[in-house]
């Protein structure tokens, strides 16, 4: 089942808030409440990682339950996609974008053939440019903590066409700097979706974290 929101729209919508939330939890039973909290805070992009075997089932349910994903106000995708078969399963489940931890050119091709946005993981300039030239919608620079925000400026000076999303080590303290140096959005997981806060149903604290991150993105954009 191909996504009804095209790949360019996925990036545009992700960029509205500028924070791609990576939901990597052992227990996804509170996914609906978590999604509502994040959307209400202003988050426009959610990624459910396939490290949880129920991720695709939950993704399908969440997408059907929240009109924002059908109306183009937010997008929902699958992460930690390791193989072309994983990508096909995620797209069939309704994923509007695919995120991988590393470069897999067959997985990129599955997504580009189906016109689904794909953000493969890469770190070195060679990996990043190879993924981009293979048809990636954006590159997930992972782990971003390895080189820090200044690396993004270094990459985009000779390669301004790149669309980069740092993931792994992005926090409230450095999100603005990543954006200031050229990131189109930032990927944030445990620094926002704290499993202890989720277990405690502390949605107010999670919303506060989300709003603070969104503000840092605005600051980074000079807004």
Instruction: Give the CATH number, domain containing residue 161.
Output: 3.20.20.70
Give the full edge-to-edge strand order of the sheet including 117-119: 117-119, 97-99, 75-79, 45-49, 19-23, 186-188
Does 3 score more than 50 pLDDT? no
Give the pLDDT band (50/70/90) at residue 223.
Answer: confident
Distance of CA 185 to the CA centre of its chain: 8
Q: Give the number of domains in the chain.
A: 1
SS (H, E, C) the chain: CCCCCCHHHHHHHHHHHCEEEEECCCCCCCHHHHHHHHHHHCCCEEEEECCCCCHHHHHHHHHHHCHHHCCCCCEEEEECCCCHHHHHHHHHCCCCEEECCCCCHHHHHHHHHCCCEEECEECCHHHHHHHHHCCCCCEEECCHHHCCCHHHHHHHCCCCCCCEEEECCCCCCCHHHHHHCCCCCEEECCCCCCHHHHHCCCHHHHHHHHHHHHHHHHHHCCC
Position 131 scores a pLDDT of 98
Query: Does 216 fall in a domain?
Result: yes
Q: Is the pTM of this model over 0.85?
A: yes
For the residues 6-33, what does the mean pLDDT come to? 97
Q: CA-CA distance, 13 to 137, in Å (whole number)?
A: 13
For the residues 76-99, what does the mean pLDDT come to? 98
Q: How many CB atoms lie within 10 A of CB 124?
A: 12
Query: Does 42 fall in a domain?
Result: yes
Give residue 2's region: left, alpha or beta (phi > 0; psi -120 to 50): beta
Per residue in 150-165, pLDDT (tens digit) is: 999 999 999 999 999 9
- Cα–Cα nearest to 49, from 90, 4, 103: 90
Q: CA-CA distance, 107 to 122, in Å (whole number)?
A: 14
Per residue in 31-87, pLDDT (tens digit) is: 999 999 999 999 999 999 999 999 999 999 999 999 999 999 999 999 999 999 999
Position 69 scores a pLDDT of 96
Does 1 score more than 70 pLDDT? no
**Partner residues linked to 99 by β-bridges:** 119
Query: Does 120 fall in a domain?
Result: yes
Residues recognised as catalytic: 47, 140
Maximum Cα–Cα distance across the chain: 46
What residues make up the domain containing 13? Answer: 7-220
Query: Does 1 fall in a domain?
Result: no
């Amino acid at each position: 089942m191909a996504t009804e929101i095209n790949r360019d729209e996925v990036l545009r919508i992700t960029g509205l808030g500028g924070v791609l939330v990576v939901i990597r939890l052992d227990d996804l039973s509170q996914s609906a409440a978590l999604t509502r909290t994040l959307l209400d805070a202003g988050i426009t992009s959610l990624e459910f990682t396939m490290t949880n075997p129920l991720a695709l089932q939950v993704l399908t349910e969440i997408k059907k339950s929240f009109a924002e994903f059908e109306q183009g106000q937010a997008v929902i995708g699958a992460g930690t996609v390791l193989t072309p078969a994983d990508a096909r399963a995620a797209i069939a489940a309704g994923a509007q974008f695919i995120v991988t931890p590393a470069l897999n050119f067959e997985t990129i091709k599955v997504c580009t053939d189906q016109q689904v946005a794909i953000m493969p993981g890469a770190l070195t300039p060679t990996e990043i440019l190879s993924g981009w030239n293979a048809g990636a919608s954006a590159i997930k620079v992972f782990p971003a903590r390895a080189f820090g925000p200044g690396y993004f400026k270094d990459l985009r000076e000779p390669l301004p066409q790149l669309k980069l999303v740092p993931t792994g080590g992005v926090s409230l303290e450095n999100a603005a700097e990543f954006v200031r140096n050229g990131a189109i959005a930032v990927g944030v997981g445990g620094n926002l979706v704290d499993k202890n806060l989720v277990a405690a149903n502390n949605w107010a604290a999670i919303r506060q974290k989300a709003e603070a991150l969104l503000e840092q993105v605005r600051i980074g954009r000079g807004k």
